[in-house]
Amino acid sequence: MRYEIAPDLVDSDGQLANPFFTTLTAIRSEGSIAAAARRLGVSYRYLWGYLRDRESEFGRELIHWDKGRAARLTAFAERLLWAEARIMARLAPAIENLRAEISRELSVAINDDVTIIDCAASHDLALLVLRELCRAQADLLLELRFVGSIDALGELRRHRCAFAGIHLPLGRPELARRGSAIHRAFGPLLRLGKEKLLRTAIRTQGLMVAKANPASIKHLHDLTRSRFVNRPVGTGTRALLDELLASIGVATSDVPGYAHQESTHLAVAACVASGQADVGFGIAAAAHAYGLDFIPMVDEHYFLVCEAPLIDSPVTSRIIELLRSRSWSDALARLPGYRADGAGDVVSLRRTLPWYE
């Protein structure tokens, strides 16, 4: 059960891989040892022996070995797969941060002309796409460090990054009125005349529930009778949910599991998919990634925040050009719950943030 960081153990999304779990996933997907062996590029005999050896090590069966029937994972093997899925979802920001550090150092060593853009951001699947578009430019590197939205703005204020990635529920501006949880969280860190907002995308947040919604969850009121999984304090999603509950008069203390926290949208989705919770709150793309049903609640605007003078710099112009490109809009169209409306627009705080109305 050992993980190693090596080129052949990292898939295209930057997730670490382990041969044991890759094997179990192939069997679950293919429904037979022979088909799984073909998918993995090994012989039937080898895979059969490999599985028997792992069962011997665990002292428990991994496969239902019913002759003449499709291969099925045992409940124990399913638990192992879901445990690994939750672990990897939690590790996603750390893995991306590690990739960014390695990429930065090697890019500087290899290419004297590379331009590095430091960005501390709330974890977002669309930003990974933007990073790849930058990488395709050969001399442009978007160095992402994933932290909570509030921490990202703190990094910007301390001049530890050029851009901070945050999201605000402008699809329902009343949620960010003066005095709201959103205002209290973001207001002190966004300064009129000092920072500018660069639109990147609109994304949808809502309730993530198991396929076919067995707990019959339809509204936020239903959280009081469900096992919930939350995001940490200091994230924009947590502030949004706090305000949503306050707007309908539901106390957070009445929500079972409100103190159960997961570090990313993907980790929340994995927790629900594995049966550890009935419902979570997060982005549609994370729900889709784990085969969950999704109940939309709020459209958010995702912004890159920078100090005002940086808006007119050549590096920001290149980012704006990418955000306005067909490549960006096409990529977001393929990402569930995202769209590129207004991407690349530079907007002022006073005209955009609801608490200034």
Give the tens place of pLDDT for each residue, 248-304. 999 999 999 999 999 889 999 999 999 999 999 999 999 999 999 999 999 999 999
Q: How many other CB atoms are there within 10 angstroms of residue 154's CB atom?
A: 17
Does 218 fall in a domain?
yes
Cα separation, 252 vs 289, in Å, equals: 27
Does 315 fall in a domain?
no
Cα separation, 261 vs 89, in Å, equals: 13
Same domain assignment for residues 53 and 191: no
Structural domain ending residue among the three candidates 82, 109, 134: 82
Global pTM?
0.80
Q: How many other CB atoms are there within 10 angstroms of residue 70's CB atom?
A: 12
**Residues spanned by the domain of 172:** 165-308+330-356
Does 131 fall in a domain?
no
Say what the pLDDT of residue 222 is. Answer: 97
- pLDDT, the chain, mean: 89
Structure confidence by residue, pLDDT tens digits, 127-180: 989 988 998 887 888 988 888 899 999 999 999 999 999 999 998 999 999 999
What are the C-alpha distances in Å from 12 to residues 9, 60, 96, 100, 128? 10, 32, 12, 14, 11
Structural domain ending residue among the three candidates 26, 56, 82: 82
Into how many domains does the chain fold? 2
Same domain assignment for residues 70 and 183: no
Say what the pLDDT of residue 9 is. Answer: 38
From the list 168, 125, 133, the residue with the least C-alpha distance to 269 is 125
Structural domain ending residue among the three candidates 57, 82, 107: 82
Does 158 fall in a domain?
no
Does 88 fall in a domain?
no
Does 146 fall in a domain?
no
Same domain assignment for residues 181 and 299: yes
Does 41 fall in a domain?
yes
Same domain assignment for residues 175 and 76: no
Does 313 fall in a domain?
no
Q: Which residues pair with 217 in a beta bridge?
A: none
